[in-house]
């Protein structure tokens, strides 16, 4: 309405001046230039609307979030300080102004923030750190002020006492100051956020809690991490096996599962999966069942979905017969070494092309490991080298298909060295010469290559039988693979 009235007044003035014989072109030019600049700034997002979700609209609770028991416990304790306002006033406790959630992508940081807003019955405003940075000086600071003002007004409008501001990727606007020499827009934006957080008081009508999320907390400015701003740092880690089982149960509640589906077994085989990966896994399994026009989701759908989540969709490219044979030999070499070193560890072998891989051997981890011994690391190197060694023994030469295996083997060897587990003992990474590192890496890999060569040379018949089965069916599950080994062993004994 204001714009229409202003436009009407402007036109009336222009007409009046024209009737008086005044040259209005300079006025029109400068007003047009001003309007264009205003339009550009306005569209750059100063008057940006934020994704506001009230607690009535959001039904996410902490019970809906699988695993993360430690993170939830820390978060709930911090939220109780806000919820029990009268108690903290009596004890003289200042309110927590900010909670920082750190952890890998897909672990549920956004869900925890939404559950926190629901728990303290507050309005919820979500935004991202990248939305505050623009080429125009002062825009980011203006957006920060607008965000806090919107949180306050929204809470008053909905008659709430609390408001939660969730800033994802907070490292974008809260990185260390002084790193951007071209202009100070980043620093001004962070300064404004610090000012707004310092202004939060316990006696405010609306108590505002800022929740930040990042997987790069190491680059944050120290000023934002000091007490009185982000008072609590909550680590949201990848789920362990029990947590993965809990997450799988949550995401399969609305899905019809066949009796052959064992979620505990699936949780065991998804080491390193985040909550987002597990949600995608259950969804992909349901999609595969729909493609086959099945009414129930079977175990095979989940295992196929695991391959898809890890490696990607199947590719249409078809290698030549010789290449397919080489791929089968290569993957069998990996699997045989894995089974010899760690019986029962092979989950599946496939020669179907997915993503950047022409074939794939998936291991089944008996336990989630967070600390590695030298024996474990050397075993992994031997397994990685098993593919190229099998090619050399059965085909007579190696191929470029093992290049990624070699890179990973070198990384494991470096981990042995830099962890003080090699023959060099404890070393200073910065002062030791690259020549010594190279010679030690070569020594570690050569020893495991000889080990792999001995293992596969004495079991060539097994490699040939597994290769033939792979060429027929394209995929073998662990039990089938072990059955071939057992049958061959019994035949040789007989």
Per-residue pLDDT of 415-453, as tens digits, reads 999 999 998 889 888 888 989 999 999 999 999 999 999
Span 140-156, average pLDDT: 84
pLDDT score, position 368: 61
Q: How far does CA 453 lie from the centroid of its chain?
A: 38
Domain boundaries defined on the chain: 2-46, 51-235, 241-311, 321-493
Span 209-232, average pLDDT: 84
End-to-end CA distance of the chain: 95
The number of beta carbons lying within 10 Å of the beta carbon of residue 285 is 28
Span 372-376, average pLDDT: 90
Report which of residues 72 and 388 the model is more confident about.
388
Give the span between the Cα atoms of 23 and 397, in whole angstroms. Answer: 88
The dihedral region occupied by 134, where left means phi > 0, alpha psi between -120 and 50, and beta the remainder, is beta
pLDDT at 410 over 90: yes
The answer to whether 289 touches 313, Cβ cutoff 8 Å, is no
Q: Which secondary structure element, helix H or strand E, spans residue 488, and what is its range?
A: helix 478-493
pLDDT at 326 over 60: yes
Helix-then-strand count for the chain, H and E:
18, 9
Q: How far does CA 121 lie from the centroid of its chain?
A: 28
The dihedral region occupied by 293, where left means phi > 0, alpha psi between -120 and 50, and beta the remainder, is left
pLDDT score, position 353: 78
Give the span between the Cα atoms of 481 and 107, in whole angstroms. Answer: 34
The answer to whether 388 touches 331, Cβ cutoff 8 Å, is no
pLDDT score, position 240: 84
Give the span between the Cα atoms of 36 and 41, in whole angstroms. Answer: 9
pLDDT at 303 over 90: no
Q: Which secondary structure element, helix H or strand E, spans residue 109, and what is its range?
A: helix 109-119
Span 36-46, average pLDDT: 50
pLDDT at 49 over 60: no
- Lookup: tokens for 19: 């009737």
pLDDT at 48 over 60: no
pLDDT score, position 406: 93
Does domain 241-311 match CATH 1.10.8.60? yes
Respond yes or no: is residue 472 known to be catalytic: no
The dihedral region occupied by 121, where left means phi > 0, alpha psi between -120 and 50, and beta the remainder, is left
Which residue out of 269, 304, 331, 378 is catalytically annotated? 331
Give the span between the Cα atoms of 309 and 305, in whole angstroms. Answer: 6
- Lookup: tokens for 40: 């550009």
User: Class assignment of domain 51-235?
Assistant: alpha beta
- Lookup: tokens for 434: 């690259």
Most confident of 7-16, 24-33, 95-104, 332-341: 332-341
- Lookup: tokens for 44: 């750059």
Average pLDDT, the chain: 81
pLDDT score, position 201: 74
pLDDT score, position 138: 57
Q: What is the three-class DSSP state of 461?
A: helix
The dihedral region occupied by 400, where left means phi > 0, alpha psi between -120 and 50, and beta the remainder, is alpha
- Tens-place pLDDT, residues 240-297: 888 888 889 989 988 999 998 899 888 888 888 888 899 999 999 999 999 999 999 9
Q: Percent helix, strand and coil across the chain, each rounded to 5?
A: 55, 10, 30
Four-CA torsion 480, 485, 489, 492, nearest 10 degrees: 100
Considering only CA atoms, which of 364, 360, 409 is closest in space to residue 382?
409
pLDDT score, position 6: 61
Single pTM value for the model? 0.70
- Lookup: tokens for 342: 């760690």
pLDDT score, position 447: 95
The answer to whether 330 touches 323, Cβ cutoff 8 Å, is no
Q: What's the sign of the alpha-carbon dihedral 162, 94, 146, 76? A: negative
- Tens-place pLDDT, residues 445-488: 999 999 999 999 988 999 999 999 999 888 888 888 898 888 87
pLDDT at 234 over 60: yes
What's the burial of 215, exposed, middle or buried (CB within 10 Å: 0-12/13-18/19+)?
Answer: middle
- Tens-place pLDDT, residues 52-104: 444 444 578 888 787 788 888 888 887 877 777 777 777 777 777 888 999 88
pLDDT score, position 43: 46
Q: What is the DSSP letter of 398?
A: -
pLDDT at 40 over 70: no
Per-residue pLDDT band for 366 (boundaries 50, 70, 90) equals: low
Q: Which secondary structure element, helix H or strand E, spans residue 322, and what is its range?
A: helix 321-341
Per-residue pLDDT band for 331 (boundaries 50, 70, 90) equals: very high
Q: What is the three-class DSSP state of 242?
A: helix
Q: Are 241-311 and 321-493 the same fold in CATH?
A: no
Question: Mean pLDDT lowest for which of 14-18, 196-200, 322-326?
Answer: 14-18
Span 191-217, average pLDDT: 82
Span 359-384, average pLDDT: 83
pLDDT score, position 115: 87
Q: How big is the chain by its Cα radius of gyration, in Å?
A: 31
pLDDT score, position 133: 66
The fold for domain 321-493 equals Methane Monooxygenase Hydroxylase; Chain G, domain 1 (1.20.58)
What percent of the chain is predicted at pLDDT more than 70?
Answer: 80
Per-residue pLDDT band for 230 (boundaries 50, 70, 90) equals: confident
Question: Mean pLDDT lowest for which of 159-163, 363-367, 374-378?
Answer: 363-367
Give the span between the Cα atoms of 305 and 286, in whole angstroms. Answer: 9
């Amino acid at each position: 309405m204001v714009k229409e009235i202003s436009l009407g007044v402007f036109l009336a003035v222009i007409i009046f001046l024209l009737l008086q014989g005044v040259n209005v072109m300079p006025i029109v030019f400068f007003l047009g230039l001003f309007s264009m600049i205003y339009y550009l700034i306005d569209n750059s997002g100063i008057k940006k609307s934020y994704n506001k979700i009230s607690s009535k609209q959001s039904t996410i609770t902490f019970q809906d979030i699988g695993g993360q028991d430690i993170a939830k416990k820390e978060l709930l304790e911090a939220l109780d300080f806000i919820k029990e306002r009268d108690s903290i006033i009596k004890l003289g406790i200042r309110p927590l102004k900010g909670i920082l959630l750190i952890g890998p992508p897909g672990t549920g940081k956004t869900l925890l923030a939404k559950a926190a807003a629901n728990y303290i019955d507050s309005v919820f405003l979500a935004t991202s750190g990248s939305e505050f940075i623009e080429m125009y000086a002062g825009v980011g600071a203006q957006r920060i002020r607008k965000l806090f003002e919107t949180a306050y007004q929204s809470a008053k409008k909905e008659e709430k006492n609390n408001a939660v501001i969730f800033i994802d990727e907070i490292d974008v606007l809260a990185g260390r100051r002084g790193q951007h020499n071209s202009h100070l827009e980043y620093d001004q934006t962070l300064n404004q956020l610090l000012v707004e957080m310092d202004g939060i008081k316990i006696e405010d009508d609306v108590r505002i809690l800022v929740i930040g999320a990042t997987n790069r907390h190491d680059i944050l400015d120290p000023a934002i991490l000091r007490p009185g701003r982000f008072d609590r740092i909550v680590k949201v880690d990848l789920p362990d096996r029990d947590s993965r089982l809990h997450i799988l149960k949550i995401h399969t509640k609305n899905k019809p599962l066949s009796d052959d589906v064992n979620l505990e077994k699936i949780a065991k085989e998804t080491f390193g999966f985040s909550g987002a990966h597990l949600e995608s896994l259950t969804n992909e399994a349901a999609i595969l069942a729909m493609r086959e026009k099945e009414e129930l989701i079977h175990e095979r759908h989940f295992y196929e979905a695991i391959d898809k989540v890890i490696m990607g969709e199947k590719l249409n490219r078809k290698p030549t017969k010789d290449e397919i044979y080489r791929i089968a030999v290569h993957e069998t070499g990996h699997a045989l070494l894995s089974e010899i070193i760690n019986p029962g560890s092979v989950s599946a072998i496939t020669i179907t092309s997915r993503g950047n891989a022409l074939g794939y051997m998936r291991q089944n981890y008996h336990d989630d490991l967070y600390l590695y011994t030298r024996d474990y690391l050397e075993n992994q190197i031997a397994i990685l080298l098993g593919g190229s060694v099998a090619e050399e023994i059965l085909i007579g030469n190696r191929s470029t298909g093992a290049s990624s295996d070699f890179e990973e083997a070198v990384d494991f060897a470096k981990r042995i060295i830099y962890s003080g587990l090699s023959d060099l003992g404890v070393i200073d990474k910065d002062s030791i010469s690259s020549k010594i590192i190279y010679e030690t890496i070569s020594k570690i890999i050569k020893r495991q290559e000889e080990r792999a060569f001995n293992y596969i040379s004495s079991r060539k018949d097994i490699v040939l039988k597994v290769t033939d089965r792979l060429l027929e069916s394209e995929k073998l599950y662990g039990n089938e693979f072990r059955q071939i080994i057992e049958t061959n062993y019994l035949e040789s004994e007989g």
